[in-house]
Chain A
Amino acid sequence: MTFEPSDESGAGGFSSGVSLSPIGAPWDRLRTGVWRVAVAEESMAPALAAGDWLLLDPTPARWPRRGSVVVFHEPESGILAIKRVAAGPGDHVRISAGILHLSPDQAWLLGDNGASSIDSRRYGPVGLDALVGRAWFRYAPASRIGLIPRGPQWGPLRALAEPRA
């Protein structure tokens, strides 16, 4: 399947210069945001495993830096998904149709397990309005408690990962 960027893929109403409040005002996000999630499925292995319990920061006003792990609403299905930011606003991503320039509210999200992950290679860039929070700490299982590191391998080159043919 080939992803072709289209006008619909972004978060429609963005115009540069306006404040980015994707999930509502900060106070709303503190109150109604998602603070904890359980991980299901394996596309983030080995960094995250199914059954991990994570703490989120539900208040990001913009996409976190490359390599950060984020929870967001998956574009096609709307399910809550967890992936890594492979490229952020302003970055360029090479896709089969050419080079895609991410707009100021878009990120390119990929699973660590490239071969088996359903991610931006399937559904394209993800708009800021889909962002739910940044995963920063694993509090269970006990043997794996700790901060969730940004993947060191997730530099600019990694962001140019080939899309699914």
Chain B
Amino acid sequence: MSRATGWLRPPTTAYAHCDVPCGIYDPHAAELAARTVARMVELIGQLPKENPTEADRAKLVRCITVKEQHAEIVKHEIGVIWSDYFKPEHVERYPDLHDRTWKILKLAGKNKQNIDAAAAAELEAAVKEYADIFWSTKK
């Protein structure tokens, strides 16, 4: 059976090339995730420092989880745009592209490890600049 289907299998693939369902070439997801990281840091800062209730502690855990998940999403989304979307001519136009990517990945890691409003703001700004570069290559 498997030999039969193997023999029947077409030697080539034709792509019904699609855009949105794959959703990979849009920095918006990264921007949203970076925004979420910053917002979570903000929410964590608003929690009472002393005598937290059960609910406060639950919220703290939730915020930390969401923060770390979204920092990871930033890394994934930026990585996809970097590896799959950007081409050599884009790097020619933006010679610091690799460096920017690397810095965002590092920053996202830093935001996973720490609760640091400055680092979160830095991440958000860096992702925004990355998105601007992305869109400028679409013009």
Contacts and interface: CB of A to CB of B under 8 A. Distances in A.
- Please say whether chains A and B are actual partners in one complex: yes
Interface of A: 1, 34, 36-45, 48, 50, 53-54, 71, 74, 79-83, 111, 113, 115-119, 135, 139-140
Interface of B: 5, 8-22, 138
Nearest to B139: A1
24 contacts: A37-B10, A37-B12, A37-B13, A38-B12, A38-B13, A38-B14, A40-B13, A40-B14, A41-B16, A42-B18, A44-B16, A45-B16, A48-B16, A53-B10, A54-B14, A71-B14, A79-B15, A79-B17, A81-B14, A81-B16, A82-B15, A116-B19, A118-B18, A139-B8
B14 A39 contact: yes
A116 B10 contact: no
A119 B14 CA distance: 13
A39 B16 contact: yes
Contacts of A41: 15-18, 21-22
A105 B83 CA distance: 35
A163 to B, nearest CB: 14
A53 B5 CA distance: 11
A40 B9 CA distance: 13
A15 B95 CA distance: 42
B136 to A, nearest CB: 13
Nearest to A111: B16
A139 B14 CA distance: 15
Nearest to B138: A1
Nearest to A37: B14
